[in-house]
């Protein structure tokens, strides 16, 4: 499929891409850490502060009504983007980490007890490990880990064997932030549901790369961040099935999440407001909606196809470099490629690439257990977006080749 705009038009939508880094044209390949923002998002947020700045759901005056309507319209945009059944299933949070912590606390308080088990995978980001560890410590529960192969493929047979009558929830990443593996989350959900077990999917690295349909996946929770999908920082989404959300206690207390307050008792508001305590990040939510609209306008399938083509170029080029190892060779991947060029330390290589104007991620990528699985202290990750070009990928390959030659 063809993108709705030319690559030149797309790049002009992202002002930061014309930046110079150390006097060289910026080649931004750290999109897995955060994506750049199009003018459509930047201008929307500026316009909000200029013309519609008021508190949401807290006034009868014009500005409050205006921004409240736009905030709820943003919720509808998110609902449609992931094909949730109802707007009440869309909760705005501070990001993926906040969303996972919210579920770990609320679900844990309601459903997890001593001796119960929580299943996650061995390729999780720390944000989908630590909150569950904290819950296990509080409740004296146990954390069970799904192993994965050297190629970066989850062992589904081992997963099936981990599920038991004590399993209370499965929490797994849609896409590995290190390996790029697209996990078979629909199959994972279906298997868990056969045992009556709910599933949370960490979509931080999945939402931006293709179509996400939570109704088709039938997942119980799906979480993601705005800044990973070309939207603002400080905004995230927690999707949850309404029936399950209604059973969970709020994880924060404050204004707007209450129906009635006395010194004796507080009753909570209806969904989704019961989980949105305090003044909301309405500019973030509306900016996120603008980002999702931008992606939809370009064509989400076309975005995914372009990224796959760029990934193929990067994989072919890097694979041809002697001594270089790629981590994550699963047959189904997004446009993320992690590697180590021989014996060169990842930080040395990353700093040299930076001087060439090439921005990549170095280190453990907040996935230390995954790195331990491979017996390494970290690696280099290039994460590619649709606004990157073939010339930039070729520059990356040349840069890595030069680094390996310098240390030969």
In this structure, the chain runs to a length of 408
Smallest CA-to-CA distance from 230 within 98, 38, 387 is with: 38
Rg, Å, the chain Cα set: 22
Q: What are phi and psi of 189, to 5 degrees?
A: -65, -45
Q: Provide the 3-class DSSP secondary structure of residue 170.
A: strand
CB 181 within 8 A of CB 340: no
What's the rounded Cα separation, in Å, for the pair 408 and 393? 23
Which two three-digit tokens encode residue 384?
């590619």
Q: Which residues contact 131 (CB under 8 A, 6 or more apart)?
A: 97, 100, 101, 104, 105
* Cβ-based burial of 152 (10 A; exposed 0-12, middle 13-18, buried ≥19): buried
CB 276 within 8 A of CB 91: yes
List the catalytic residues. 366
Smallest CA-to-CA distance from 208 within 227, 226, 223, 229 is with: 229
């Amino acid at each position: 499929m063809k993108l709705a705009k030319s690559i030149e038009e797309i790049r002009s939508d992202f002002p930061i891409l014309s930046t110079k880094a150390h006097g060289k044209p910026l080649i931004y390949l750290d999109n897995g850490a955060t994506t750049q923002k199009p003018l459509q998002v930047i201008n929307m947020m500026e316009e909000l502060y200029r013309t519609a700045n008021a508190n949401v759901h807290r006034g009868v005056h014009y500005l409050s009504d205006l921004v409240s309507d736009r905030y709820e319209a943003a919720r509808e945009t998110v609902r449609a983007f992931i094909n949730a059944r109802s707007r009440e299933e869309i909760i705005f949070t501070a990001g993926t980490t906040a969303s996972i912590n919210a579920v770990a606390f609320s679900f844990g308080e309601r459903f997890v007890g001593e001796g119960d088990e929580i299943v996650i995978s061995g390729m999780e980001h720390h944000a989908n490990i630590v909150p569950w560890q904290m819950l296990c410590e509080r409740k004296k529960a146990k954390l069970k880990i799904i192993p994965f192969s050297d190629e970066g493929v989850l062992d589904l047979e081992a997963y099936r064997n981990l599920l038991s009558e004590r399993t209370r929830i499965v929490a797994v990443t849609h896409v590995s932030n290190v390996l790029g593996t697209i996990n078979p989350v629909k199959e994972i959900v279906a298997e868990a549901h056969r045992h009556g077990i709910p599933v949370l999917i960490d979509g931080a690295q999945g939402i931006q790369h293709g179509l996400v349909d939570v109704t088709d996946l039938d997942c119980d929770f799906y979480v993601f961040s705005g800044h990973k999908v070309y939207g603002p920082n400080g905004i995230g989404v927690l999707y949850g099935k309404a029936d399950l959300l209604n059973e969970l206690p709020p994880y924060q207390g404050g204004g707007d999440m209450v129906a009635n307050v006395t010194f004796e008792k507080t009753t909570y508001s209806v969904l989704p407001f019961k989980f949105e305590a305090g003044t909301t990040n309405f500019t973030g939510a509306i900016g996120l909606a603008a980002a999702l609209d931008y992606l939809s306008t370009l064509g989400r399938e076309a975005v995914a196809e372009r990224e796959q083509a760029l990934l193929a170029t990067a994989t072919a080029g890097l694979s041809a470099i002697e001594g270089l190892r790629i981590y994550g060779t699963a047959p189904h991947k997004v446009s993320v490629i992690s590697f180590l060029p021989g014996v060169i330390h990842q930080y040395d290589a990353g700093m040299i690439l930076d001087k060439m104007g090439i921005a990549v991620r170095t280190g453990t990528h907040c996935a230390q257990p995954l790195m331990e699985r491979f017996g390494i202290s970290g690696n280099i990750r290039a994460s590619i977006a649709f606004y990157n070009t073939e010339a930039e990928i070729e520059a990356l390959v040349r840069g890595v080749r030069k680094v390996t030659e310098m240390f030969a």
